[in-house]
Amino acid sequence: MTHPAEDTTDQGPTAPGAHPSRPGSERRSGLTTAEVAERIANGQVNDVPVRSSRSLREIVRANVFTRFNAIIGVMFAIILVVGPLQDGLFGLVIVANTAIGIIQELRAKKTLDGLALIGEVKPQVRRDGTTQQISVGEIVLDDTVLLGIGDKVVVDGLVTEADGLEIDESLLTGEPDPVLKQPGDEVMSGSFVVAGAGSFTATKVGRQAYAAQLAEEASRFTLVKSELRSGIDSILKFITWLLIPTAIGLIVSQLAVEKHDWREAVRRMVAGIVPMVPEGLVLLTSVAFAIGVVRLGRKQCLVQELPAIEGLARVDTVCLDKTGTLTEGGMDLVELRPLTEEGLRPGAPLANHVLADREVLTGALGAMGRADSRPNPSMQAVIDAYGGQGGGQGEGGWRVLEAMPFSSARKWSGVQLLEPQGGEASWLLGAPDVLLPAGHPALAEVDELGAQGLRVLLLGRSPLALDSPDPAAQLEPLALVVLRQRLREDAAGTLAYFESQRVEAKVISGDSAVSVGAVAAHLGLPGADHPLDARTLPTDAEALAETADRTTVFGRVTPQQKRDLVGALQSRGRTVAMTGDGVNDVLALKDADIGVAMGSGSEATRAVAQIVLLDDSFATLPSVVAEGRRVIGNIERVAGLFLVKTVYSVLLALLVVFTHMPYPFLPRHSTVLSSLTIGIPAFFLALAPNNERARTGFVRRVLRLAVPGGVIAGAATFTAYALARANHATELKADTSVATLTLFLVAIWVLAIVARPYTWWRLALIGTMGGAFALVLIVPWLSDFFQLELAGTRDPWTGVAIAVVAGLLLEIVSRVLKRQAQNGG
């Protein structure tokens, strides 16, 4: 990643943020305080709220008014009519689950809103002749907004000052090439500065600005691609269609069976329909996502889209930049190496040997540094070393006549200087392999230094004016500026974590391939000893995908190539996360499956990323990946529990319809069974640690256990119920109790399979659920409340024996599925 105003090839001075194109031009003073107050009173203010989360009304509506709550709500209303109230307990469970969803999402909203406020960048405006930093919402019509490299254009306006100002409008137009802006040109919100500096006058603010029309795209809760959610939706859609004919058949059969007690028929019909709806699954998914957001928020990680947490679990490739990710932003100038006669172009001797004098070189560098009001780390290292040299703008010193900021298309920056000797020339600072012709003797020296992980810039002098078509055409190379980047302390450990988790890390940088490879190799990244210069990348899509797949380190990568590499990796079936902080990362971040931006990076990168590391800590990424794996792994685990219930409920309903027997349960029995074998355990299992990388095929894997598990549970329950009915056809309470016992034992066995591998708290959870059910059977007022009474010993023990057989069948199915999974089946 590159810092705003910095590309890894860098770089010379950038123009002062508020300076016009020539030093000494008259500055605009901006609006006065009275003019600002007048515009605020007239409502001409940029009052469009930046939403980081859904509103309270939207959260409540989304959690309450669902298709499944509607089904359960109708069933609850029916029970309120026919009674008794304890058969309506399932309605309270829905209320509780809905409340949990609302509360957790409100907690996530509070964290998201707070983190979004922390991460909000405040633009600079000129008012009353001074520069002020204000929030985006405080900008008024006709404000003079200052722009520098990496700044986002937050409202629409007209350029008033431009010093090599280049605007990237790719997010608006799709055109990747930056547009050079002159005074009078239009700028639109949503674009961002990639080179130069300047200012513009706000002409459209609030809901008139272009940014207001992008509200849907900017929404923090826009759903990214989510196999988990689409899979659950597919399952629920199928269940809904299955529910309708089954419910009709159940109603008809129960009315036929209970001819003299329509209330009992209705109660048992409700008891058959309610368990078919996996009402807790969607809510639990939302809760798990929301809790993941809160957990990551505490680690200074802003998740802007909830399903992005799922995407993290599926990531198998992480694309990193060197600068700001593997290395710290700070740099040190370790050597200024003048080029000797032998280090110049063959047959092109030095025009003026005096220029190679160290004092002249440091003076020129000092002047270039002083011309830069927004130095990036490379220029800051030059300023720290030589900022006090070269004199001032007065007589006998170096005078800056014009400045050309860095552009990723040029790979260099420069200033036009009036030299102390009276001459005038353009001094350029940039990438040696761009400024020097191929085969130049100095390039071997550059490669040697780059192999040591050092950054090398070329300082040269050209007689051509800075605004000529190609100022570097007659460049006279004078010296190499050698810089050293500081490696992040946590970089090596983080790369080792990714390797241990089978997540492949690839370094994609704008710096030279040799230099990037040296840094990556020093950190122990596999494959770093074979870096590739992106200028040699093939243009054919298939060849590019092959190269991207086998290569670990890329250098000299342009912004468009970063995007192409991400697309090439995705074409090979990879799930790609891209980290970035510079404006040259925006295109790749937008196309990646998961975009991760640094908090101190450009505002434009944060606008398109799903995740923002507010503390700029690369070491946070393992926690982010682990959280994603925990969420999706556990949702897949508990989804099996919910769908086993759906399958056995549908099977029991069909068997009852065809045999014309009373439905074996009342709604209160379904409530206690669902709570103890699914609802409560699922909540705890969904929050447990889980470090397994998510795989595709969510629906298929969940149904592989749910269908046979549900069929076994339903068949065992109906068998025990039918045998009990044969012994005493009139004692429906005893028959129901046997069926409830059998189903509980089979369902708790399913829970025991899903909860593996065992830990002490998982065993305690299973034991607690078993103990709670025993209390329901033993404690008189509880057994009366739930209408459970085991009569005699034969039927209960028959139920237990059937449950054990069913459990053994479940074990066989589980082992077969596990063996198939290990074999990749």
Contacts of 332 (CB under 8 A, 6+ apart): 381, 384, 483, 484, 486
Q: Does position 73 have pLDDT exceeding 80, yes or no?
A: yes
**CA distance to 50, 222, 444, per residue, from 216 (Å):** 12, 7, 52
Residue 510 to residues 383, 593, 635, Cα–Cα distance (Å): 23, 21, 40
Q: Is the pLDDT of residue 233 over 70?
A: yes
Q: Is the pLDDT of residue 376 over 60?
A: yes
* 424-464 pLDDT, tens digit each: 899 999 889 889 888 888 898 888 887 777 889 999 999 98
Cis peptide leading into residue 124 (ω within 30°): no
DSSP secondary structure letter of residue 583: G
Lowest mean pLDDT among 253-257, 360-364, 418-422: 253-257
Tell me how far CA of residue 762 lies from CA of 402, 443, 685, in angstroms: 70, 63, 8
**DSSP H or E segment with residue 641:** helix 621-659
Residue 114 DSSP symbol = H
Nearest to 553 by CA among 589, 598, 504, 493: 504
Give me Rg for the CA atoms of the chain: 34
- Nearest CA to 106 among 50, 61, 55? 55
Q: What are phi and psi of 181, to 5 degrees?
A: -105, 140
Q: Which residue has the higher pLDDT, 654 or 451?
A: 654
| Cβ proximity of 157 and 177 under 8 Å | no
- For the annotated catalytic residues, the residue numbers are 321
- The model's confidence at residue 553, banded by pLDDT at 50, 70 and 90, is very high
According to the model, what pLDDT value does residue 125 have? 94
Give the CA dihedral 554, 452, 340, 458, nearest 10 degrees.
Answer: 40
What percentage of the chain carries pLDDT values higher than 90?
A: 18
Pair of tokens at residue 601: 């990076």
Angle at 7 between CA 4 and CA 13, to 5 degrees: 80
Task: Name the residue with tokens 């709500």.
Answer: 73
Kindly report, residue by residue over 481-495, the tens digit of the pLDDT.
998 777 888 888 889
pLDDT for the residue numbered 385? 87
Please give the pLDDT value at position 765: 93
Give the separation between CA 287 and CA 309, rounded to whole angstroms. 12
Q: What pLDDT is recorded for position 391?
A: 56
pLDDT, averaged across the chain: 79
Q: For residue range 534-551, what is the model confidence (pLDDT) as tens digits?
A: 889 998 889 999 999 999
Residue among 586, 687, 680 at smallest CA distance from 627: 687
Residue 589 is predicted with a pLDDT of: 84
Asked whether 457 and 11 are in contact (CB, 8 A), the reply is yes
The half-sphere exposure of 770 on its side-chain side, counting CA atoms within 13 A, is 14
Task: Indicate if the pLDDT at residue 12 is higher than 50.
Answer: no
Q: Which amino acid, one-letter code, is at 626?
A: A
pLDDT score of 547: 93
Write 339-342 long-range contacts (CB < 8 A, 24+).
Answer: 339/442, 339/477, 339/478, 339/479, 339/480, 342/441
Predicted pLDDT at 193: 86
**Across 358-381, average pLDDT:** 81
Q: d(Cα 825, Cα 821) in Å, to the nearest integer?
A: 5
Q: In angstroms, how far is the first alpha carbon of the chain from the final one? A: 40
Residue 725 scores a pLDDT above 90 = no
Closest residue by Cα to residue 669 from 642, 649, 643, 644: 649
- pLDDT tens per residue, range 743-758: 999 999 999 998 888 8
Beta strands in 205-326 (DSSP E): 301-303, 317-320
Which positions ≥6 away from 723 have C-beta within 8 Å? 795, 798
- In eight-state DSSP terms, residue 474 is G
Say if CB 578 and CB 319 are below 8 A apart.
Answer: yes
Summarize the confidence of residues 23-40 as an average pLDDT.
Answer: 74
Is residue 49 predicted with pLDDT exceeding 80? Answer: no
Query: Could you report the per-residue pLDDT of 782-806, keeping only the tens digit for each?
Result: 888 877 887 778 888 999 999 999 9
86 pLDDT band, cuts 50/70/90, is confident
Structure tokens at 299: 């680690």
Cα dist. 814→305, 703, 818, 819 in Å? 35, 12, 6, 9
Within 13 A of 364's CA, how many CA atoms are on the CB side?
31
d(CA 140, CA 136): 9
pLDDT in tens, 205-217: 877 766 555 433 3
pLDDT at site 641: 86
The one-letter amino acid code at 733 reads K
What average pLDDT does this structure show over 470-479?
A: 88
pLDDT band of 564, cuts 50, 70, 90? very high
- Note the pLDDT of residue 668: 81
Residue 175 pLDDT exceeds 60: no
Instruction: For residue 502, give every residue at least 6 positions away whose Cβ sits within 8 Å of its Cβ, in sequence order, or none.
Output: 316, 693
Tokens 């129960």 belong to 254
| Rounded CA separation 593/614 (Å) | 20
Residue 598 reports pLDDT greater than 70: yes
For 767, counting Cβ atoms within 10 Å of its Cβ (0-12 exposed, 13-18 middle, 19+ buried), the class is exposed
Tell me which of 41-50, 229-238, 342-351 is least confident. Answer: 342-351
Task: Collapse the DSSP code of 205 into the 3-class scheme (helix H, G, I; strand E, B; otherwise coil) and give the result.
Answer: coil
Dist CA 530 CA 513 (whole Å): 9
- pLDDT digits 0-9 by tens, 267-288: 777 878 878 877 677 767 777 7
Burial group, residue 23, by CB count within 10 angstroms (0-12, 13-18, 19+) = middle
Name the token pair of 543: 């060849």
Q: What letter represents residue 434's amino acid?
A: V
Q: Is 457 helix (H, G, I), strand (E, B) or coil?
A: strand
Phi, psi at 692, each rounded to 5°: -80, 130
pLDDT, tens digit (0-9, with 9 covering 90-100), for 408-430: 667 787 889 888 888 889 999 98
Encode pLDDT of 508-538 as tens digits: 987 778 878 888 888 888 888 889 998 899 9
Residues in a beta bridge with 170: none
